[in-house]
Amino acid sequence: MLIVQKFGGSSIVDVRRIAHVAKQIVSTKEAGNDVVVVLSAQGETTDHLIARALEVNPNPSKRELDMIMATGEQQSIALMAMAIHRLNYAAVSLTGAQAGIISSSHHGSARIKRIDPDRVRAELEAQNIVIVAGFQAIDRNRNIITLGRGGSDTTAVALAVALNADLCEIYTDVDGIYSADPKVVPKAHRLPVISYDEMLELATLGSRVLHNRSVELAKKYNVPLVVRSSFTSMKGTLVREGVKVEKTLVSGIAIDRDVARVSVIGVKDTPGMAFNLFSLLARNKV
C-alpha cells in the first residue's frame, strides 16, 4: 500500500515527540508500505516567525512573510529525516517546490493548482520514506507561497490524490472525530466512521480537527481519510463516502466562537444579483 501520513505541529513539538513519530513512520514502512509524510511546523514556530518579522517591519510584504513562514516546515522535515536515519532507515526531505506542488500566487492563502509527483515517485522507488513540507508550494514564477489555514492537511490530501494513494492518515492531538468537543461536552463519544458531507459540515461550522479544504478535496477524489492521534494507538475515525447510519439525525455538533456575521440588506431581487455579490467576495478571497 501507499500511505500518506500527516503530522501536526503538536505531534512533533520537541525532540522526544519527533523520535516517537519517527518510530511510528518506520513501523508503517516495516509493515510493507510505501510512505509519504507531510509535516507542519513544530508547535508555535510559525507564530514565533511571524512575531520576528513584525519586529523588523510592522507591515511586511506578503511575499517576504511567506518566505520566512515556510522555513518552519523545512526545519520539521529535515529534523524528521535525521530522526529516521538514526533508526537506520532511508528518508529524504522535500520542500513543497521539490515535491512539485504548484499553486496560485495569492501569498498566505494560495490554492493548489496541480502537483507533479515525479520526484516523489522516484524517491519512493528508491525505497526512501519521503517527507514533504506541508503548507507551502511555488507559483508559476517559482515564488514560495503558503497555503493558509489548513494548508498541511490540504497538502497531504492533494499528494494522496496525485500519487493515487491507498490511504491518507491525519495524525493530530485528538484520537478521532467526536460527536462534540470533548473539552466542552465530557460525554461526547468518538465516531468510528463519518461521511465526507458530515465531516465537511462539522469542519465548516467550527470543528478544527480537519480543515474544510482538505475534506472537500478528499470527497472530490474519493480519498479515504483516517483521523487519529499521534499520542495513542487508537484506530481513530474513518472519513469516507456512503456512510449509512439508521435512525441517526445528528452526527456531531461543532462550536466556533470566532465568527462574525455580515448582513447585506437592500439587495435587489433580480437574476444574477447573488452571483455578482458572491463572485466579488470570491475574487477577494473572502
The CATH number assigned to the domain with range 2-256 reads 3.40.1160.10
Grid coordinates standing for 2? 501507499
Question: What integer pLDDT is reported at residue 99 of this predicted model?
Answer: 97
Instruction: Please name every residue paired with 167 in a beta bridge, in sequence order, or none if there are none.
Output: 3
| Phi, psi for residue 39 in degrees, rounded to 5 | -120, 145
User: Mean pLDDT of successive 10-residue segments in the chain (286 residues)?
Assistant: 95 95 96 97 94 96 96 97 98 97 94 96 97 96 92 95 96 83 79 88 71 88 91 86 58 64 85 87 81
**Residues 155, 160: Cα–Cα separation, whole Å:** 9
Question: What integer pLDDT is reported at residue 257 of this predicted model?
Answer: 65
Question: What integer pLDDT is reported at residue 63 of this predicted model?
Answer: 96
| Residues near 276 by beta carbon (within 8 Å), at least 6 away in sequence | none
Question: What integer pLDDT is reported at residue 210 of this predicted model?
Answer: 82
Residue type at 62?
A: K
| Residues near 133 by beta carbon (within 8 Å), at least 6 away in sequence | 38, 39, 70, 73, 74, 76, 77, 93, 94, 95, 96, 99, 155
**Residues 159, 76: Cα–Cα separation, whole Å:** 18
Question: What integer pLDDT is reported at residue 232 of this predicted model?
Answer: 82
**Domain boundaries of the chain, sorted by first residue:** 2-256
**Residues 218, 224: Cα–Cα separation, whole Å:** 7
Identify the helix (H) or strand (E) that includes residue 131: strand 129-133
